[in-house]
Amino acid sequence: MSDSLTIHHTREPFPDTSVPDPHQDIFSKTTLGFWMYLMTDCLVFATLFVTYAVLRHNTFGGPDSRTLLELPTAFIETLILLTSSLTSGLGLLAAKRSHRTALLGWFALTFVLGASFVAIEMHEFTQFVHAGHSWTRSAFLSSFFTLVGTHGAHVTSGLIWMCIMMGQVFFHGITVANFRRLVLFNMFWHFLDVVWIFIFTYVYLIGVL
Amino acid sequence: MHDEMSLKEIQKEWHGSYRAYAIGFIGSLLFTLLSFFLVLSQTLIGAPLVYTLSGLSLTQAILQFVFFLHVGQEPKPKWETVLFAFMILVLLIIVLGTLWIMHDLNDRVMVGM
């Protein structure tokens, strides 16, 4: 009993450091874990997409995607989100060179773009609801609001995360931990842009045909 | 257990570059514009248009996965790439399986409705 306890409390006499493994560091462990989350999030969006694909003709006498959706709005949203993806990447490139002010500038721009994306989407949603086309109207609208709303909720949480990161960088500078978090945030933001490509194509472009 | 890497080492570990962002952004922009104007101009209609748009969106997604998210560019062992491949497999099972089953059910059960 006491033997097993002492064994637990003594350090490993010969830690296996003979083979230097560059992938055992905390940076790539964290990015791998976050990547794993993003991959599962991909599956969440895949199920929502396929639900939308199955239900999109079940309009129950309500509006269908052709009469409801406006392509120019979605096109502008696409350009905004794509540009914000670029500016967040440029921010991280500034962080790579430890340029704090440039990073904060790019992230502020990314925040403005992301916030305007969410604002346009909210405006679109409120218009639909005021016109009586809310998510309770038909299976098509339920799946539409779930799919596009889930993406919007992700973007909104990204905006909150961005605010926190700007505060962290402002007060503590570009530290090891902050750079790691910035890389994770950047992955998240690019991932949301990839999801939006499919929303733009399958919901909006193919929806208005 | 793990030695905390220095900031310089971590900054090197992230693969982003101006060149990759330029290619990714301009490429994505071109694919988006092409899809948008294909729908507006109606040079293609019906199924060919749907397939073209699907192809364009897939290409753009691959472009962004490669140039923005650096899939396949990590040093060995490529765990992120393995996870990505597995995600694609599960995604295909979910998407194709659901579409197949639901279309089949629709054909068999909803006859005459």
Q: How is chain A split into domains, by residue range? A: 27-205
Q: What residues of chain A, 126 to 155, have a C-beta less than 8 Å from chain B?
A: none
Contact residues for A147 (Cβ-Cβ < 8 A; gap 6+): A45, A48, A49, A51, A52, A199, A203
* Average pLDDT for A56-65: 92
Report d(CA A93, CA A183) in Å as an integer: 10
DSSP characters over A145-176: HHHHHHHHHHHHHHHHHHHHHHHHHHHH-S-H
CB contact under 8 A, B53 and A206: yes
CB contact under 8 A, A54 and B10: no
- With CA atoms as reference, the chain B residue closest to A176 would be B7
pLDDT category at B85 given cuts 50, 70, 90 is very high
Q: A-chain residues within 8 Å CB-CB of B98? A: 47, 50-51, 54
The identity of residue A173, as a single letter, is G
Residue B111 exposure: Cα atoms within 13 Å on the Cβ side: 4
Query: pLDDT of A85-141, one tens digit each?
Result: 999 999 999 999 999 999 999 999 999 999 999 999 999 999 999 999 999 999 999
* Average pLDDT for A56-60: 92
Q: A-chain residues within 8 Å CB-CB of B14? A: 92, 96, 179, 183
DSSP 8-state symbol, A24: G
Token pair listed for A14? 């010969």
- Please report the pLDDT score of residue A158 as a whole number: 98
Higher pLDDT, A9 or A65: A65
A86 close contact with B: CB closer than 8 A: yes
CB contact under 8 A, A95 and B11: yes
Query: pLDDT of B56-66, one tens digit each?
Result: 999 999 999 99
Phi, psi of B70 (to 5 degrees): 55, 40
CATH architecture, domain A27-205: Up-down Bundle (1.20)
Nearest to A201 by CA among B88, B65, B59: B59
Task: Say which of A42, A93, A209 has its CB closest to residue B39.
Answer: A209
Distance of CA A108 to the CA centre of its chain: 17
- Please report the pLDDT score of residue A150 as a whole number: 98
- Please report the pLDDT score of residue A29 as a whole number: 87
Report d(CA A77, CA A50) in Å as an integer: 22
pTM, 2 dp: 0.89
pLDDT at A18 over 70: no
